[in-house]
Amino acid sequence: MGVQGVSFYEIAAGDPDRPAVLGGAAPVTYGELHAEVNRLSHTLRGLGLRPGDTVATVLGNRPEFLTVLLAAMQSGLYIVPVSRHLTTPEIGYILADSGARVVVTERACAQAAAEAAGESGAVLLDVDEGLGDGDPAPPADRRMGSVMLYTSGTTGRPKGVRRPLLDIPPEMLFSIMRQSLARHLGTEPGDDVHLAVGPLYHSAPCVHTMMALSLGHAVVVAPRFEPEGALELIERHRVTNAFMVPTMFHRLLALPEEVRARHDVSSLRQVFHSAAPVPVETKQRMMEWWGPVLYEYYGSTESGVVVLARPHEWLARPGTVGRAVEGVEIKILDPEGRELPPGETGQIYARGHSGFEYHRDPAKTAAAMRGDLYTPGDLGHLDEDGWLYMSDRRTDLIISGGVNVYPAEIEAVLLQHPAVADAVVIGVPDAEWGQRPVALVEPAPGAAPGPELAAGLLAHCEPRLARLKHPRRIEFREQLPRTPAGKLSRSRVRDAYLNGTT
């Protein structure tokens, strides 16, 4: 079946009976989803939101997220997806910093969202109570919106990655994005089925799902990732493409052989992965099982995709994360900004990415740039042919299950406890999660180190940090090692810890 149009909105108008969301009692069609998107657009306008304003979501993985996303994208609004796993103060900070005027949530998150929204003054909409019963026709003055995702930094305070809004219809933006995806990732319009199994409040799952609906694909929204459950969804709905993170591969490969063998995954043609390095052996085993369908790319919330390795390219160069996509140039620089030759490790910079700024933080924006080059702070090297290999992520960044965990944020919470004189958090290798945070704590005078204090520190973290940020282990040291200048060096502490010398 052909696809009419270059955006969700045009496809819905031209082919309203096309399946859009699968998995419920009956498919939700493009026409039905479009009507809900339009009703919410009118509701948001009725609440006083105008182009440039912000709507936030505090939702689990559910189809209503798509309704909010598509309504914002045709209403000239910034949409800020907030993790439902954050604590109330963490949610409240993002709502206040983003200036969210409306928060869309669900019954399971309503209490935390209400408390957080109360601090910011935002209006609450509960999807379990409906998102409005107004006009199902498109609003008259449609214009492009944008997704503003929050990403943390070494200061521990997350910042919104903000892009300028242009006074153009969303179809124009989606047409450009669709052409770019076809050129870089090989995704095409058609009757494909996309599995949204990662959290939609994360950058890549959100963008992949949004673009699937602009290609005419049907979408299956999984409430959460469960290894065998994902295989069942792939088989039942004949899924053709998905986005996953390496932790999902580890969990899938951990299934018993007989469980893996009883599910037909032959419909898969493209499984994109990013967010964290994947061991060569893990990727090889996945492609032995699923075939040459794994497309790896490297980028960030700020830059988007900057390098890509298609399956046959990776198999020829195991371990690469890809080569620069069209329009992007990759450079490896030393700390003084000098370009390094092939084979030498330095900081990864990209030129040709889409422009951005950190919301309300021009200093952070400037610190990420060197002229027109942007760096996410990661280390790597290029080979003679321009293929990028990562040697490490940011020395202070922990990537656990594809999620960025920033040590400074955890350390700031631990240091609030009266029994802590100092603390350093490091990432240690973990076969399933990639890395796990471990806290090394110097007790305050008079504090007794041991299991009771460790339990007390974890209880102290409970209301202040999302569960995924909690240290998986707390160990005590009489004195933490410091540089001659008196500073803690996480890389030195981590190296010493892994070598068993701390």
How many Å apart are CA 406 and CA 105, to the nearest integer?
A: 26
Average pLDDT of the chain to the nearest whole number: 91
Quote the strand ranges of 148-269, DSSP E: 149-151, 159-162, 193-196, 218-221, 241-244
**Model confidence over 4-50: pLDDT tens digits?**
888 999 999 999 999 999 998 899 999 999 999 999 999 999 999 99
- Residue 412: is its pLDDT beyond 90? no
How sure is the predictor about 153, in pLDDT bands with cuts at 50, 70 and 90?
very low
| Residues, the chain | 502
**Percent of the chain residues topping a pLDDT of 70:** 96
Helix (H, G, I), strand (E, B) or coil at 331: strand
Average pLDDT for 185-206: 94
Q: What is the pLDDT of residue 484?
A: 46
**Model confidence over 449-472: pLDDT tens digits?**
999 999 999 999 999 999 989 999
**Percent of the chain residues topping a pLDDT of 90:** 72
**Model confidence over 85-118: pLDDT tens digits?**
899 999 999 999 999 999 999 999 999 999 999 8
Average pLDDT for 202-224: 96
List, in order of start, the domains of the chain with CATH numbers.
1-163 (3.40.50.12780), 398-498 (3.30.300.30)
Helix (H, G, I), strand (E, B) or coil at 85: coil
Asked if residues 73 and 79 have their Cβ atoms less than 8 Å apart, the reply is: yes
Read out DSSP for 388-450?
Answer: EEEEES-TT-EEETTEEE-HHHHHHHHTTSTTEEEEEEEEEEETTTEEEEEEEEEEPTT---S
How many Å apart are CA 328 and CA 305, to the nearest integer?
A: 9
Q: What is the pLDDT of residue 177?
A: 84
Taking the CB of residue 495, how many other CB atoms lie within 10 A of it?
A: 13
**Model confidence over 266-306: pLDDT tens digits?**
999 999 999 777 888 889 999 999 999 999 999 989 998 99
Q: What is the pLDDT of residue 23?
A: 93
How many Å apart are CA 238 and CA 222, to the nearest integer?
A: 14
Helix (H, G, I), strand (E, B) or coil at 123: strand
Asked if residues 152 and 404 have their Cβ atoms less than 8 Å apart, the reply is: yes
How many Å apart are CA 63 and CA 471, to the nearest integer?
A: 32
How many Å apart are CA 206 and CA 177, to the nearest integer?
A: 14
How many Å apart are CA 214 and CA 181, to the nearest integer?
A: 11
Q: What is the pLDDT of residue 58?
A: 97
How many Å apart are CA 199 and CA 403, to the nearest integer?
A: 10
What's the one-letter identity of residue 103?
V
**Model confidence over 413-426: pLDDT tens digits?**
898 898 998 889 99
